[in-house]
Amino acid sequence: MLAAMRSWFAGHGYLEVPTPAIVASGALEPQLFTLEAGGGVLRTSPEFALKRAFASGLPRIYEIGPCFRGREHGTWHRQEFLMCEWYRAGAGLFDLMTDVESLIDHCRRALGESSPLAWTKIKVRQAFLSATGIDIATATASDLADTGEDWDTAFFRRWVEDVEPTFVAPTFLYDWPASQAALATVRTDGPMPIAERFEVFLNGYELANAFHEEGNTATIRSRWEDYNSQRAASGEPPHPIDETFLSAIGKMPRGSGIALGVDRLVAALCGWESIHRGWVGTPSV
Amino acid sequence: MYETSDIKNGLKVEVDGQPYIVTYFQFVKPGKGTAFTRTKLKGLLSGNTLDRTFRTGEKLAPADIEEHEMQYLYDEGDARVFMNTDTYDQINIENKVLGDDAQWLQDEMMVKVLFWRGSPINIDLPNFVELEIVYCEPGVKGNTAQGATKTAELAGGASVQVPLFVDQGETIKIDTRTGQYVERVR
């Protein structure tokens, strides 16, 4: 499978760039927890380093390597997993959807499956409306769930309970609420402010996440500070702001990037019931 | 209180003032959102299944459940009497609590009794019991026709469908989980 992925990237002009596993800081998003190692932390994704490579003038790059996230254990989660991340200059989100379809069909052919998958592309607002009857453009937190939780938590509670289970077919979900932008650009010209990102669902679970990359350093710095204050509010230490990474943001070409869980892709294409079947690690670790 | 990381199959929790047992759980984490644990809970009083999702950080109340190995002593009309074989304490469990389980009880049978807030709410029977047929239509010798059955009344009051060749006075094995005939006991 890895050989098939690498041959697809080589065939589409992507350069493989290995980046360090031990880094200065974990991802911005307040839901991610790092594991300490060697005076730094183990990367939650290769994003910061790959974006520096992207900013240095390499228009198509990718990396396949281990990433680490604390406090994630389950059927589809393990603290150490294999991530495939790639960046493409000049690409919009729909270009990356085409990359995903082509890459997965290529992997399926390597496994002897010649028929391409049929994908659904749907906006998050529409998927939420179909599954729950609720329009997230106008809904308040208490319209989403009567749990007294903040808007995003109530959104994800309904997402996990009612929306996500409807993605039986291979699906791209795009145009997410702006509050869940992370490193994506935000658009405000529609009925609700949206983050220009998509998630890929295969076999009913999330396989990948893509951003149309935000290139404004001040915007990213202010989001990072905001996410750190959310961490502080829940009693968690901040993720130190990586200035070397921030200084590369403004030099990146316009483009899009995506991170795909390799263990999950293998499980989906092989019909496995969890990501642990092909794993040779020690169960206690 | 339990954390969401304590959730596992068999954990007994109190939800909306009722005791439940966890029968399924799955850790889920949206890409840019907080983590949750999806669960299926079975009501220890109602028997109903409930789908509940707990956010990481939410606390779950333990259900005040105790389990004791007890011996069935005798029938007191509205209730059955059981004894704790360690302490020799005796308790009455009303027939309405026992439901259909009462019909499989036999003298000196050991059962697991589940208590919620100190009151018995359920018993766990052996999977198989052997009971005598006190009445059924006479058997037809040599009749082994597949699927043909007749009703047999058993000691204890239950009625089950048995094959035609089984006779009154014989002892048969019953699966208490399904209430169905398994085989003749010689």
Q: Quick one: which of A28, A45, A44 has its CA closest to A36?
A: A44
Per-residue model confidence (pLDDT) at position A67 = 98
CB contact under 8 A, B34 and A153: yes
Per-residue model confidence (pLDDT) at position B23 = 96
ipTM of the complex: 0.92
Per-residue model confidence (pLDDT) at position A73 = 92
- H/E stretch holding A175: strand A171-177
Of all residues in chain A, the percent with pLDDT exceeding 70 is 100
Per-residue model confidence (pLDDT) at position B148 = 84
Burial B49-67 (b: 16+ CB within 10 A, else e): eeebbbbeeeebeebebee
Are A231 and A237 in contact by the 8 Å Cβ rule? The answer is yes
Per-residue model confidence (pLDDT) at position B138 = 85
Average pLDDT over residues A119-129: 98
A260, two tokens: 């795909």
Average pLDDT over residues A164-170: 95
Q: Could you tell me if B117 lies within 8 Å of chain A, comparing CB atoms?
A: no
Q: Which residues of chain B have pLDDT under 50?
A: none
- H/E stretch holding A230: helix A217-233
Per-residue model confidence (pLDDT) at position B143 = 59
How far apart are alpha carbons A174 and A196 in whole angstroms?
7
* pLDDT, tens digit (0-9, with 9 covering 90-100), for B54-68: 999 999 999 999 999
Are B32 and B18 in contact by the 8 Å Cβ rule? The answer is no
Residue A182 exposure: Cα atoms within 13 Å on the Cβ side: 24
Are A274 and A75 in contact by the 8 Å Cβ rule? The answer is yes
CB contact under 8 A, B35 and A31: yes
Mean pLDDT rounded to a whole number for chain A: 96
How far apart are alpha carbons A197 and A264 in whole angstroms?
20
Smallest Cα distance from A8 to chain B, Å = 25
Per-residue model confidence (pLDDT) at position B145 = 61
Contacts of A153 in chain B (CB under 8 A): 33-34, 55
Identity of the residue numbered B108: E
Give residues 189 to 208 of A whose Cβ lies within 8 Å of B. 199, 206
* pLDDT, tens digit (0-9, with 9 covering 90-100), for A202-248: 999 999 999 999 999 999 999 999 999 999 999 999 999 999 999 99
Are B91 and B140 in contact by the 8 Å Cβ rule? The answer is no
Q: Quick one: which of B29, B34, B25 has its CA closest to B2?
A: B25
* pLDDT, tens digit (0-9, with 9 covering 90-100), for B49-101: 999 999 999 999 999 999 999 999 999 999 999 999 999 999 999 999 999 89
- Which three-class secondary structure state does DSSP give residue B96? helix
> How do beta strands A15-16 and A60-68 pair?
parallel
Contacts of A176 in chain B (CB under 8 A): 32
